[in-house]
Amino acid sequence: MAAEVRIPSLLRGQVGGSRSIQASGPTVGHALDDIEARFPGFKERVIDPNGTIKQFVSIFINGEDVRYIQSLDTPLQDGDQVSILPAVAGG
Protein backbone atom coordinates (compact mmCIF):
# COMPACT_ATOMS: atom_id res chain seq x y z
CA MET A 1 0.00 0.00 0.00
CA ALA A 2 1.42 3.38 -0.96
CA ALA A 3 0.52 6.42 1.09
CA GLU A 4 1.57 10.05 0.86
CA VAL A 5 3.32 11.11 4.04
CA ARG A 6 3.35 14.87 4.60
CA ILE A 7 6.50 15.98 6.34
CA PRO A 8 6.33 18.92 8.79
CA SER A 9 8.88 21.67 8.24
CA LEU A 10 10.76 20.50 11.33
CA LEU A 11 11.57 17.13 9.76
CA ARG A 12 12.21 18.13 6.17
CA GLY A 13 15.96 18.33 6.72
CA GLN A 14 15.80 14.66 7.55
CA VAL A 15 14.27 13.72 4.19
CA GLY A 16 16.22 15.92 1.77
CA GLY A 17 13.84 18.87 2.05
CA SER A 18 10.71 17.16 0.70
CA ARG A 19 7.29 18.40 1.82
CA SER A 20 5.81 14.96 1.24
CA ILE A 21 7.09 11.55 0.29
CA GLN A 22 5.53 8.30 -0.85
CA ALA A 23 5.88 5.42 1.57
CA SER A 24 4.57 1.87 1.39
CA GLY A 25 3.58 -0.78 3.86
CA PRO A 26 0.51 -2.50 5.25
CA THR A 27 0.39 -0.21 8.32
CA VAL A 28 1.41 3.28 9.41
CA GLY A 29 4.35 1.77 11.33
CA HIS A 30 5.58 -0.06 8.23
CA ALA A 31 5.34 3.13 6.17
CA LEU A 32 7.58 4.88 8.72
CA ASP A 33 10.04 1.95 8.48
CA ASP A 34 10.02 2.41 4.72
CA ILE A 35 11.00 6.08 5.13
CA GLU A 36 13.65 5.15 7.69
CA ALA A 37 15.22 2.71 5.20
CA ARG A 38 15.73 5.58 2.77
CA PHE A 39 16.45 8.33 5.28
CA PRO A 40 18.16 6.82 8.33
CA GLY A 41 17.49 8.79 11.53
CA PHE A 42 13.98 9.84 10.50
CA LYS A 43 12.09 7.43 12.68
CA GLU A 44 13.76 8.32 15.98
CA ARG A 45 12.42 11.85 15.58
CA VAL A 46 8.86 10.53 15.63
CA ILE A 47 8.95 7.27 17.59
CA ASP A 48 10.32 6.62 21.09
CA PRO A 49 12.94 3.91 21.64
CA ASN A 50 10.17 1.76 23.17
CA GLY A 51 8.29 1.84 19.86
CA THR A 52 5.45 4.22 20.72
CA ILE A 53 4.67 7.55 19.08
CA LYS A 54 6.46 10.37 20.90
CA GLN A 55 4.46 12.27 23.48
CA PHE A 56 4.29 15.58 21.64
CA VAL A 57 3.86 14.07 18.18
CA SER A 58 0.62 13.04 16.54
CA ILE A 59 0.21 10.99 13.39
CA PHE A 60 -2.98 11.51 11.43
CA ILE A 61 -4.32 9.30 8.65
CA ASN A 62 -6.73 11.15 6.37
CA GLY A 63 -7.07 13.71 9.17
CA GLU A 64 -7.79 11.25 12.00
CA ASP A 65 -5.38 10.69 14.88
CA VAL A 66 -4.09 7.09 14.70
CA ARG A 67 -3.89 7.06 18.51
CA TYR A 68 -7.67 6.53 18.46
CA ILE A 69 -7.56 3.93 15.66
CA GLN A 70 -4.84 1.29 16.01
CA SER A 71 -1.84 3.53 16.61
CA LEU A 72 1.15 2.38 14.52
CA ASP A 73 -0.76 -0.78 13.54
CA THR A 74 -3.44 1.28 11.78
CA PRO A 75 -3.82 -0.26 8.31
CA LEU A 76 -2.93 1.81 5.26
CA GLN A 77 -4.79 1.84 1.98
CA ASP A 78 -3.52 3.09 -1.35
CA GLY A 79 -3.84 6.84 -1.59
CA ASP A 80 -4.10 7.46 2.14
CA GLN A 81 -2.63 10.70 3.36
CA VAL A 82 -0.51 10.58 6.50
CA SER A 83 0.46 13.75 8.43
CA ILE A 84 2.97 14.03 11.24
CA LEU A 85 2.38 17.04 13.49
CA PRO A 86 3.69 18.46 16.75
CA ALA A 87 1.14 19.32 19.46
CA VAL A 88 0.29 23.04 19.51
CA ALA A 89 -1.80 24.96 22.01
CA GLY A 90 -4.56 27.48 21.54
CA GLY A 91 -6.70 29.51 23.90
Q: Which residues in this chain contact another protein in the complex, by CB under 8 A?
A: 8-11, 45-46, 54-58, 60, 63-65, 67-68, 83-91
CA-CA distance, 2 to 27, in Å (whole number)?
10
Rounded least distance, CB 4 to another protein, Å? 14
Rounded least distance, CB 78 to another protein, Å? 21
Rounded least distance, CB 86 to another protein, Å? 4
Rank residues 17 and 63 by Cβ distance to another protein and give the closer one. Answer: 63
DSSP character at residue 37: H
CA-CA distance, 76 to 91, in Å (whole number)?
34
Would you give the end-to-end CA distance of the chain in angstroms?
39
